[in-house]
Amino acid sequence: MPLTHRGREILSRVPGGTLHSAVGVGCEIVRHEELCVGCGKCATDCPSGASERGAFFDVNQLLDAPADSRRGALGGALRRLMRHGPDGPVEVPERVTVYRTIIYDDEKCLGCGTCARGCPAAAIEARPPQADAEPAAAGAPAFEGARA
Amino acid sequence: MAGATATAAGAVRAAPASAADRKIVAFCCRECAYAAADASANARTPLPPTVRLVLMPCTGRVSPLHMLSALAEGADGVMVAGCLLGQCHYREGNFMAVDRVAFVQRLLKSVGVEPERCRMFTMSAGEPPKFVAAVREMDRVIGGLPPLPRSDAAAPAAGAAVAVRGAA
């Protein structure tokens, strides 16, 4: 976002002041598929359309899930019944709100972290960009010193 | 409880295969199917001995985990009996049940189990004959299938029973 004239003037008076990008944008988004419950909240929240709810579900995600998770419980029941490995992805009907696979496209992702904030299963992690974090930490004491 | 379930499952496997030994779990909506079952019992209509009724507040409460756990723990078939489409007491619970049953059928088909083992029926509270017909139909279909084989590789049950309570 471009600064106003007044903003630029104030910034020029801050010793060692550098311009940082808006908070949160440019985060690295890390998705933990084993925790995902497929609710699709990240897809509804996403401002850029990088996350979408897929129409298919990979049955292996049930079989591979940890036993104490909800998907793992379903996978455990399925494993006792199965006669052969899954044939492939299963189509998910419209009203089955969980057990969906989320399609994530990191080309479209802005790194805003909205999905991570809203995720009910804490399956998405937004890591702040390393390059920005470093000068921000160094810049703060300089600003304090300038005011004192 | 886990032990009892395991013993029951063992008894099912050890018993000679005959259609009367099959177990069908019927998840019934309180507003319609359970009321219809009640009325049919009052009329002393005989039901197949294979069916076990489970009272649900709405078929929308039945999760895929309920259906698959029932099959994994000893049932040969699962039926979900709810209101006529559009007459759900909670507006759209039975629509969700229709989709979840379809999802479970696809899961079962994908791992090589007959999808007919899980089925959805709809009826109103004033149609006991329809309920009886649905149960007899299910009994006929399950009676025509072999008993459902289960592997004991996965640890049975205590955890699954707890997880069902938490599932939506």
Q: Which residues of A touch B112 (CB under 8 A)?
A: 82-84
Question: Are A54 and A137 contacting, i.e. CB atoms less than 8 angstroms apart?
Answer: no
Beta strands in A18-140 (DSSP E): 28-31, 51-53, 56-57, 90-91, 102-104, 124-127
- Report which residue type is found at B150: R
Q: Which residues of A touch B149 (CB under 8 A)?
A: 83
**pLDDT for res A2:** 55
Tell whether the torsion through CA atoms of B113, A59, B61 and A43 is positive or negative. Answer: negative
> Per DSSP, what are the bridge partners of residue B88?
B91
Mean residue pLDDT of chain B comes to: 84
| pLDDT tens-digit series, residues B28-56 | 999 999 999 999 999 999 999 999 999 99
**pLDDT for res A10:** 84
| pLDDT tens-digit series, residues A41-71 | 999 888 888 888 888 888 888 888 888 877 8
Q: Do A73 and B151 touch (CB under 8 A)?
A: no
Nearest residue in chain A measured CA to CA from B70: A77
CB of A54 less than 8 A from some CB of B: no
Question: Are B66 and A70 contacting, i.e. CB atoms less than 8 angstroms apart?
Answer: no
Among B107, B114, B148, pick the best mutation site for testing chain A contact (most A Cβ within 10 A). B107
Q: Do B69 and A99 touch (CB under 8 A)?
A: no
Helix, strand and coil in chain B, % to nearest 5: 50, 15, 35
**pLDDT for res A143:** 47
| pLDDT tens-digit series, residues A86-114 | 988 899 888 887 788 888 888 888 888 88
